[in-house]
Structure 1
């Protein structure tokens, strides 16, 4: 093993590798779209989000200003797509729309003027706030059971990705593990790992706190207590390929999200403050496949008879069906978790 300049916890290493001055999400160039494909790059996803936005607008009673906030907007593809779809499908609603894309990178060229670009989410949101594949990039510590059967916080060399056992989890980390991702300690559990979701829980609470009235949605790679992965999910992505998680800024560093813990974090925040939880905040935890189907998105092919009467329409229908099938594939994007929080509506 080469000499290590500095051992870091994964939480600190992720923060530097993703968001530091030379971090992955601050580097110039094509941005994340050059490294991985998300639902935001599928045009039917913009339609699905647009349909959800119309539902929110109806539940809110058609407010004078309807907000759409896109967290971790990347190149702004989803925000621009929602504006375009809504303008065509419901121009009277689009006329009341305030579209805000939130990202650390500079505003992309070619983004419609109707889209605001900012580095942090606005407060007082009345409408829909969506965080598509954001929480999986929120930093987290990693705990691993060693050969001695004891779970410790993992430390990493940011240059090589080599790891070693560090300190014991602190009280808050231990409490989170015991409730959400218990690691059975003992000789037969060596190597078992967990990604500690304290920062993800706090990030989700901060998003919901931005709502005055409306819906916040987290869409992400996820798992629940019924099926935590034994060895964790921490990994890297570069140029469309999964690669070892080396936190040197050259690749994305990501880990699946315990969305059930994020959902419960709204209750724990109320308990911590001593105030009762707002009874108007309700949460729903489902999958992308199930929720998009509820929104009327499916991969059903158009009627073959259309091929004779309207060949171009048939081809457009086939293209849309293919895109919808990608979004609802249970073994792919359709398996993503959807966590929705309804506030005041």
Structure 2
């Protein structure tokens, strides 16, 4: 019997036993169930052969830019030895490999100081577990950098919907033995979340939907406790609350990914597809400030990569390795060189595309680091 069928049977049995589940709890089981969850069962499903890809899968440019950012932070913190970087939700560890490769070639002293930990559920680390992370901090020392690249979008979210000026929360119940959505009056905590950002949801049309990521608030609080001095770096798709929770975005941002195809059917194939929602960066910033973090940078991935020298690196590659390719384009070697150059250029274009990955957001918050605001 397929894993998805086993998980669905367990979900059905739990609903029959306990009653309808909040969508957030359904999403938690679908993604993180120890036996059958999407992120916890089997090999990571990232990359071209999986269900989706991340910026780290598009060659080494992203990792090199991250390396430059980490090097700047290391200098700003006074060259700590060791320099502890924790990447949470690291997947297969491509970023760690790419950062180390860049550092060894460009900044050997930094490379020697770098202590990079790739933390992922597949390695047994629960990035939401305060106990596990605090034990790691006590054992290895507090991190200087906490990095989350496309992590927060996969936290379980509460799903809400407006009907006649009232806010309802979506639960998952049963209809003739099949999973289905049920709308119930929302909890005050969920209403307060939207009201905090002055979202005029009471005037929105019936059927307007949104996702409320309360787990992200708890996660930021934990990271703030772990960081004694250093930076929190979050890269993900999302926006500020005013743009995320707008009247025009009627159906919210919840999406599912299966074999590089997008759908809006989160109750289908539990455990077999990724479920994500855009990140409310206003909430991350506000919660970080509440727990002693200060804003250093909030920008797009394109602007951040440009600041970290991605276009300069591409141009340097062209001058060093591909200048002669135009003159030799009639030869086999020339054609191969031009194809390699085209592929490298496409990687950079994909990472910086304003309509795609380039519109991801980059958030840097600091603790006990002198102010040097960037815009």
Q: Please indicate the TM-score interval, normalised by the length of the shorter structure.
A: 0.7 to 0.9
Name the CA shift for 1:241/1:120 in 2 (closer, same or farther; >3 Å). Answer: farther
- Structure 1 stretches lacking a partner, 5+ long: 108-118, 270-276
Match of 1:251 in 2: 273
Specify the alignment match of 2:37 in structure 1.
23
- Give the whole-Å Cα distance in 2 for the aligned partners of 1:208 and 1:52: 20
Aligned partner of 2:353 in structure 1 is 329
Q: 1:89 deviation in Å?
A: 1.8
- What is the rounded CA distance, in whole Å, between the counterparts of 1:128 and 1:268 in structure 2? 19
- CA distance in structure 2 between the partners assigned to 1:199 and 1:337 by the alignment: 19
* Contact 1:130-1:218 within 8 A present in 2 as well: yes
| Partners of 1:340 and 1:135 in 2: CA distance | 14
Distance 1:238 1:340, change over 3 A: same
Cα shift at 1:185:
2.5
Give the structure with the larger helix fraction.
2
Q: Pairwise mapping of residues 64-213 of structure 1 onto structure 2 (< 5 A)? A: 64-106=81-123, 120=133, 122-123=136-137, 124-146=141-163, 148-157=164-173, 162-170=180-188, 172-180=189-197, 182-185=199-202, 189-213=205-229
Q: Give how far 1:161 is off.
A: 5.4
Structure 1 residues 88-130: Cα deviation after superposition (integer angstroms, max 9, x where no partner): 22122111111101111138xxxxxxxxxxx748435443321
Alignment TM-score, normalising by the size of structure 2? 0.77
Give 3-state SS (helix, strand or coil) of 1:24's partner.
coil
In the alignment, does 2:53 pair up with 1:37? yes
Q: Is the 8 A contact 1:298 1:328 kept in 2?
A: no
Query: Is the Cα–Cα contact under 8 Å of residues 282 and 341 in structure 1 kept in the other structure?
Result: yes
5+ unaligned residues in a row in structure 2: which ranges?
A: 1-11, 125-131, 370-375
Judged with a 3 Å threshold, the aligned counterparts in structure 2 of structure 1 residues 181 and 306 are, in CA distance, closer, same or farther, namely: farther
Q: Aligned Cα RMSD in Å?
A: 2.7
In the alignment, which residue of structure 1 is the partner of 2:3? none
The TM-score with structure 1 as length reference comes to 0.83
